[in-house]
Structure 1
Amino acid sequence: MNISAKLLENARLYGTKPAYVFQDTETSYLEFNGAVSKFAHALSEMGIQKGDHIALLLGNSPHFVIGLYGALRAGATVIPINPIYTPDEIGYILNDSDVKVVVALDLLVPLFEKMNPLLPKIEHLIICETPKGNESTLDVTQLSIFQKMKSFTSFIAPGDPMFQGPEVHEDDTAVILYTSGTTGKPKGAMLTHKNVYSNAKDVANYLKINETDRVIATLPMFHVFCLTVALNAPLLNGGTVIIVPRFSPGDIFSIVKKYEATVFAGVPTMYNFLLQYPEGSVEDLKSLRLCISGGASMPVALLKSFEKKFQVAISEGYGLSEAAPVTCFNPLDRPRKPGSIGMSIVNVENKVVNELGDEVPVGEVGELIVRGPNVMKGYYNLPEETAHTIRDGWLFTGDLARMDEEGYFYIVDRKKDMIIVGGYNVYPREVEEVLYSHSSVVEVAVIGVPDMNFGEAVKCFVVVKEGENVTEEMLLSYCEEHLAKYKIPSSIEFLEELPKNTTGKILRRALKDQVKA
């Protein structure tokens, strides 16, 4: 089974039930499946064959959902790309992944016109119209890429709504997800149909997502968190996806209330914005049965404050692109543990090992490694990187973790982010947790900086609540009450906001670059 075949089955099972809602328009499972088949057939008529690579440079929209499922039904491999990446970043991924067809926003047409000589492998551009009010005024007939271009609407129109595509196997590559490139050039994690389907199915079952659920999809769909948890998981089990183009606290409160949404998935930053939004009320979110957090560690103080104010549970989980992505979640049928990423989901094994790959005793810190049907087949065209990351069937995550006596895992920090002060290990998250517990602090990020005496020192970047009069001395004094001496920051810098990526994850790397500059 794969997600496209499951959609065909669900179209028969759920018929006119809404598969997704976008800008107040509902699309049924039958309509969605028909559009997917038409898109797949149009690709086939264009000459796209099984195994060809298709990139999606789109925001959250029906275009993305139809493009994803349609390309998979055609037997193609999908490469989702952040549409606001720089031209260099986009060009690198398109060339590295050998993409033949690009499905993109019309606002990106000037970029592709400029980059055309640098993208010799691109044969076709399928252009998606932006919502009314944002139309491009560009005369595309004058462009050198005009012959490659087709509009999404005209492209899909003559397609066969009954087309089922070639046979695909579970080990065929379905999606290539490019990592964020925190340590050099991005790497393409190849996820098979089995990886994608199994993780979505296991997550849906673990979180009890079913046909009665209405799931908010405001995380970027090109990111694996949204792709699996807020898109594929509900669609596999007959739920309805409420597509939200971009995150806005005010919009989320009104959309949840309007559609009586039952599940919200977000990163910690989103929960922080929702918590700080003055007009937000418990009444707005009363339909939610579950909130899901991932993408970064959630500060315990934030989790407790959000749950107390809005009376809804947050289940924190863990994942990475190379694992499609989910490996752990806090269970719904037993106590959650704030600060924990939960337990291994069904069919997935997690364990903590030392430098030799041997499992460490309960409570000790080591590297988290993962095994299961969700683990990627490897990095695209990078056999050495693959061999380093996947050993004896285990995926080495690069994250430091510990496990308690009940099997709950805790992420201590990224292996690369650990700070060594005079020979002592300092985990940035531990310092961040302390500062998050201060009543005036909204956001915080901790990095290591060079120090002549101790090798490294702890530096903090803090955002405080508007109107609060907080000094560095006050926060340092607070840290002294809660941290060992070697963990206390050497300096605290106040910022109006912290740098984040498109999913809202705080970018420590950008702060490190800022310090170097």
Structure 2
Amino acid sequence: MHLPDIPGRRAMQDPDAAIVADDTTVYTAATFDAAVVRAARVLAAAGLTRGTVVAVVVPNTADLVVALFAAWRLGAAATPVNPALGRHEIAYQLGDCAARVVVTIPELTAAIPEGFRVVTDLHAAADAGDPPVGSDVLAEPDDLALLIYTSGTTGKPKGVMLDHANLSAMVSSSIAEMSMDSTAHSLLILPLFHVNGIVAGVMSALAAGGRTTIAGRFDPRTLFDRVEAARPTFFSAVPAIYAMLVDLPETVTPDTSSLRYVICGAAPASAEVLRRFESRYGVPVIEGYGLSEGTCASTLNPVDGPRKPGTVGRAMPGQTVRIVDADGETITDGRPGEVLIQGPNVMRGYLGRPEETAKTLVDGWLHTGDVGFLDDEGYLTLVDRSKDMIIRNGENIYPREIESVVYLLDGVREAAVVGRPHPTRGEEPVLFVSLNRDASLTEDAIDAHIAEHLARYKRPVTITVVDDIPKNPVGKIDKPSLRRQVAPVA
């Protein structure tokens, strides 16, 4: 499977089939292929050539997908850029990847630094005459395809280098694991500047012979209207979205019959929130796990097999998951340790960062920095991020354990635990909680509930109820931001 061939191949197979849509446009296979051809001509005229990089700074629209395929047609790579970033943040990403061309919309041109060739219309004819449908593309399997920038919560964002072989392996694995075929219809609600949106939301469905509908700005109040109108077979979302959907008024009773399943990933989820979603809307939630460095996903609860709520499933086809201790020795008795991943989906490395690449990729294994354990059937349970672990008086405390207990309370929308520095104890856990719309939980009630379930040393020293817990651009709870709000004990 070679993803750059998808537009031409689909156009020859069934030119009139609708395959890509957004809030304003519906592309058939033939019109989508023609749009990619035109866009490739525009980008080539702007100076994009094989081996160079185009930055795509646009909202969630079909144009972003057109730009990706157009770049690949030329043998170039693409780096999607969060359009909500500030001018200096955008300048950093464009400079770090040495972008040759920037694709954006007129409304965002002021955010693009000087010195870059800017394209605001991918549909202008660069020259007369289009190549025939299905004509050859230049990209090869070992060519760089995507530069996905990490969220930068622990320093400057890093460019994750994914080649076409990585993407092909990930898409093939996804299609096999989720039994996708030509009936697959993805509703994309995640941002397209993230690998989850690109691979799970778009490429897998298109490669399986199906289609994708790209929603613009996500709004929990209108999501099910879009589901009823588009009739997708699945969507992928982060835990925060499921928490918001569970909190919708009881008068919201949508028709979800088109949905075969929904996927939850990108961050650890509360099993209780997912149970409530399934119970209310009648749609199975398939929880998975992966990183940008692994081209999206590495484990998934089976769509057609036994699911184990609270786990993130088994290794996906073609991948291997291993748990190691602090000395790098494989753990086989179910104890927690660092999660390592191996497979053809694992990144080429970090752009321009050989030392960090060497620390993360060791003997072909991706060191995730996550802590988890495998059961005797190979299902992975995540304990926490190793960097989030709190050490209090020499005792290890995993924030996720506390959060999972808090989620058992009716009325809790989201919970986040971070460590607060202490001069003698090392760190102490502090808890932030946001509540559902009509909930009236107090800090004392939450504390009493925790006391019934956890040892004293694990109990948070403070509990703060907030309107919303901060998120990073891809919808994960922003724990670095919470840590900055916590003052060390004097």
| Superposition TM-score, scaled by structure 1 size | 0.91
Matched, 1:42 2:42: yes
Matched, 1:29 2:22: no
Matched, 1:486 2:457: yes
Match of residue 160 from structure 1: 130
Measured in 2, the distance between the counterparts of 1:46 and 1:450 equals 52
Matched, 1:8 2:11: no
Q: Note if contact 2:47-2:100 (Cα within 8 Å) is conserved in structure 1.
A: no
Match of residue 119 from structure 2: 126
Measured in 2, the distance between the counterparts of 1:280 and 1:228 equals 34
Q: Note if contact 1:38-1:162 (Cα within 8 Å) is conserved in structure 2.
A: no
Counting only pairs closer than 5 Å after superposition, residues 296-445 of structure 1 correspond to structure 2 as 296-445=267-416
Q: Which runs of 5+ in 2 are unaligned?
A: none
- 1:24 Cα deviation (Å)? 5.6
1:183 match: secondary structure: coil
Matched, 1:111 2:82: no
Measured in 1, the distance between the counterparts of 2:252 and 2:322 equals 40
Q: Note if contact 1:41-1:159 (Cα within 8 Å) is conserved in structure 2.
A: no
Matched, 1:20 2:20: yes
Q: Note if contact 2:185-2:234 (Cα within 8 Å) is conserved in structure 1.
A: yes
- 1:474 Cα deviation (Å)? 1.2
Letter in 1 for 2:403: E
Q: 1:210 to 1:432 in 2, by over 3 A?
A: same
Q: How many residues align?
A: 487
Q: Which runs of 5+ in 1 are unaligned?
A: 128-150
Letter in 2 for 1:252: L
Measured in 2, the distance between the counterparts of 1:239 and 1:166 equals 21
- Correspondence for 1:191 among 162, 167, 177: 162
Match of residue 207 from structure 2: 236
Q: Note if contact 1:460-1:489 (Cα within 8 Å) is conserved in structure 2.
A: yes
Q: Note if contact 1:449-1:458 (Cα within 8 Å) is conserved in structure 2.
A: yes
Counting only pairs closer than 5 Å after superposition, residues 179-218 of structure 1 correspond to structure 2 as 179-218=150-189
Moved more, 314-323 or 275-284: 275-284
User: For 1:434-455, what per-residue CA distance to the aligned partner results, in whole angstroms no more than 9, with x for missing partners?
Assistant: 1111012111111011123421
Letter in 1 for 2:123: T
Q: Note if contact 1:177-1:190 (Cα within 8 Å) is conserved in structure 2.
A: yes
- 1:469 Cα deviation (Å)? 2.9
Q: Percent identity?
A: 36
User: For 1:116-160, what per-residue CA distance to the aligned partner results, in whole angstroms no more than 9, with x for missing partners?
Assistant: 1xxx4x2x2011xxxxxxxxxxxxxxxxxxxxxxx3332568572
Q: 1:388 to 1:484 in 2, by over 3 A?
A: same
- 1:279 Cα deviation (Å)? 5.5
1:512 match: secondary structure: helix
Moved more, 338-347 or 270-279: 270-279
Match of residue 80 from structure 2: 80
Q: 1:368 to 1:502 in 2, by over 3 A?
A: same
1:154 match: secondary structure: coil
Measured in 2, the distance between the counterparts of 1:268 and 1:510 equals 18
Letter in 2 for 1:421: R
- 1:78 Cα deviation (Å)? 0.4
Letter in 2 for 1:180: S
User: What's the Cα RMSD here?
Assistant: 1.7
| Superposition TM-score, scaled by structure 2 size | 0.96
Letter in 2 for 1:70: A
